[in-house]
Amino acid sequence: MTDVLCFYSPDPAGKTVHGHVIPIGLACIASVLEHNNCSVKIIDLQVEDVDIKEVLRDELPVLVCISDTTNSRFETFKIAKAVKEVSQDIIVSYGGPHATFTAEDTLSNIKEIDVVVISEGEFTVLELARAAKERNLDYRDILGISYRDNGRVRQNALRERMSDLDSLPFPARHLFDRERYDMKMDFLNVRGDIIMSSRGCPYKCSFCSAGILWGNRYTHRSAANICMEIEFLIDKYGIGGIKFFDSTFTINRKHVLSVCHEFRIKGLDKIPWECEVRANTVDYELLKVMKESGCYYIDMGLESASTRVLEIINKGITVEQVENVIRWTNDLQIHTKIFLTYGHPGETLEDIEMTLKFREKYKDRVSFFAEHVGIMIYPGTEVEKYARDNGLLPPDFCWSSPFEQKINERFSTSTHVPLLFQHQLGPRELANINYRITWAEYTRFGYIIKKILEIRSPRQIVRYLNSFREVVKARLSLLLFQIKISRFF
């Protein structure tokens, strides 16, 4: 028998163990539960294929805790329904970024979900577990939740954000079958794992909900605490690299310098690590210190090379700042991944041409462009507000109602999350951009040679060949798509 049974919902696109990492949020919640004498079990349906009802009957939990992404929300609703079919007495809680921003919508329409956990969940779920064990269904004193009270949705006061992250136990990685997670460090072919050194983001990019989720408050762990967890991962699991999972690792310069200093003291500067940076939070000196401490790869969002678009999406950086970082990382021999996205609110084809020219200019100086054609509309973001205000979502759209946008398959995105299609950048225009990018990239001689040199396993060969096949199919079907596009709209 288990007090709390946690599920992480599967991606409806299908299950694969390649590149999966443990759901770190649930692992943190489970760790706090265990340290407070609550038994807990986690089923990660990304990588496990189980009979949910059979597990429920075996474990007989008092509380089920489900986490997901916007893409997998309908799978969550199926899990909740299965729970209630086994026993109406099991309390079902739902947490994570999507749940936080759709609490009223979810509770109003999904009767099988009893409670939605808002923002940080560790101690909120602990209180829910204690209440469930005592069969106390009066939730009025539990901070940070939404729930139904006599059919009416209520939201309690928010729980104050944790300031001392060092006080949290390390994530409960022992509750996962580690053999199912084979994350590899890019370019190195060594096994890696993820670490969160901080929570929160003070920035307000229009397409992202991170700043709103955490209340724009930034908190971080101490360097000593971070190093303790890395040493544990090396000793316990034999990992050979670290990816910092922070929204932006370099928000606080003193924090970064402290972590780098501690790495050198502890002899961890030989462990390769990757992190996400913002162009306005680093300079040559800081990147040099990071390099000397083991940083071999950075991720950086530019999104658009149009100054006008950068202002519209509240990115808070300039193209020149990004160009400076590329120059510095080239000098320091740090691999660099640049995020580019196409289809922002108010963006035009002229703006996109600026981004494509930037891409062409730096294609041989950037290790990888992570590109996304079509802006996905996520709850809680400024993009969602823009889409609703401008009639770019169906009038009756709500996040808990069935939704499938088949045209998204043309852009290799989830059909369950709406894409932003505008008058000046509709499916036809975005499809042409998508084709130009993918065909130009996959047929470029330098790119092909680079990918061949990066191959470390037969699985990589298969993945690259499959990707190339999809690009060829896209080229052959583009004209047909242009003819049939009107059928979708």
Contacts 24+ apart (CB under 8 A), 256-260: 256/286, 256/289, 256/290, 257/286, 257/289, 258/222, 258/223, 259/197, 259/223, 259/226, 259/227, 259/293, 260/289, 260/290, 260/292, 260/293
The string of pLDDT tens digits covering residues 433-444 is 988 887 655 555
Cβ neighbours, 10 Å, residue 480: 9
> What values do phi and psi take at 36, rounded to 5?
-120, 30
Strand partners, 400: none
How much is the average pLDDT of 332-336? 97
Q: 427 by DSSP, 3-state: which?
A: helix
Instruction: Tell me the pTM.
Output: 0.88
The string of pLDDT tens digits covering residues 13-64 is 654 444 688 999 999 999 999 999 999 999 999 999 999 999 999 999 999 9
Q: What is the pLDDT confidence band of residue 467, given thresholds at 50, 70 and 90? A: low
The string of pLDDT tens digits covering residues 156-188 is 999 999 999 999 999 999 999 988 988 899 999
319-332 vs 284-292: helix crossing angle, rounded to 10: 40
With tokens 């040679």, the residue in question is: 449
Q: Among candidates 203, 268, 261, which has minimal Cα distance to 230?
A: 268
Just give the CATH number of 4-155.
3.40.50.280
* Domain covering 183-488 assigned CATH 3.80.30.20 in the classification: yes
Segments making up each domain of the chain, as ranges: 4-155, 183-488
Highest averaged pLDDT of the listed ranges 3-17, 114-128, 203-217, 469-483: 114-128
